[in-house]
Structure 1
């Protein structure tokens, strides 16, 4: 017995994306591959925005995919349409 255990690396990378609040994690999603602007925009529109409530503050760091033109305006419109934020 003895010897090295063969290390099997996955053939693809996985990306974990979520939002953190004082109440825990929200909108947890695992994506195959790297996060890009398209998948980030879909995450915001379909997963995170529906979970946001009045008084929530969305803080984004300087990750390049966060610099999607029109993302914040689109999210604001979606939240106003659902009456979860004030106009």
Structure 2
């Protein structure tokens, strides 16, 4: 079996070449929302308080003025196993 692979660098380059991509990165800062209603990750405390560095007084990582360069990457695991057998993660 062959599984296609693309590096993060290749994926980011492809995304930035899309029309309007940088504008869409600022969507969270311009959207309307209701207080006390969580409708997206943008409403979470993690998003609002995540720091740029581990220093206590560092600025928040997610700020409207740097929304097109401060990207948060996440790993999505759906437990798909393209092979037979068990998979264990070393700890």
> Structure 2 length normalisation: TM-score?
0.21
> Structure 1 length normalisation: TM-score?
0.22
Report the structure, 1 or 2, having the larger strand content.
Answer: 1
